[in-house]
Amino acid sequence: MPVGMVYARRIAVLATSAALTVTGFLATAPAAQAAMPTPVSATTARTYLAALTVKAEGSSTGYSRDLFPHWITQSGACNTRETVLKRDGVNVVTDSSCASVSGSWYSEYDGATWTVASDLDIDHVVALSEAWRSGANAWTTSQRQAFANDLTRPQLIAVTDNVNQAKGDLDPAEWLPSRTAYRCTYARAWVHVKYHWKLSIDSAEKSALQSVLNGC
């Protein structure tokens, strides 16, 4: 290969590498496993699923994210978002305001690894509006705040921002993680959260969850 072409290829590779670093995405970075609370087992999830109230999904009338006060202070200067980022990342360094300034995060939904915190969203596994349509419309503001900031159940997880935005408020009949290896965990988490918070499910949602859990 001519020398000029070798140099051109090297420059192209370096440019691509630099671009990936700038965007925060490292395709070959080692996977750091998110430390979301472990959901109940598939066996327990199937039992919980059978116990959930099945009914048509309610209306979104009156819903607002503001009715679910979220990213509240958890400790010192750390709010819920920063707490989850630190929990789910590897070698996370925070500044005096608890903002994550470095670290790496593995998005369980799509298998991407990120090194810039702004590339991550904190997903509510059971979306706030989904909860509203499943019974949270009757809750107090205090209950909705506890749900939106629940660090005890497998309800909050750091994932790729555009993946979270694509998921939106869809339930498992409408959306599942593209990374199929995580679908069992996701279904277990979904049922765990809905069972604990006494939220209802619709028939399509139940069928989709049964299908995933039966394969766990």
**pTM for this predicted structure:** 0.85
User: Residue 192 and residue 188: Cα distance in Å, rounded?
Assistant: 6
The pLDDT score that the predictor gives to residue 20 is 39
Core vs surface per residue 101-113: b (16+ CB within 10 A) or e: eebbbbbbbbebb
User: Residue 79 and residue 85: Cα distance in Å, rounded?
Assistant: 10
3-state secondary structure of 125: coil
Q: What is the pLDDT along the chain (216 residues), one digit of tens a residue?
A: 443 443 333 333 333 333 333 344 443 344 445 589 999 999 999 999 999 999 999 999 999 999 999 999 999 999 999 999 999 999 999 999 999 999 999 999 999 999 999 999 999 999 999 999 999 999 999 999 999 999 999 999 999 999 999 999 999 999 999 999 999 999 999 999 999 999 999 999 999 999 999 999
3-state secondary structure of 153: coil
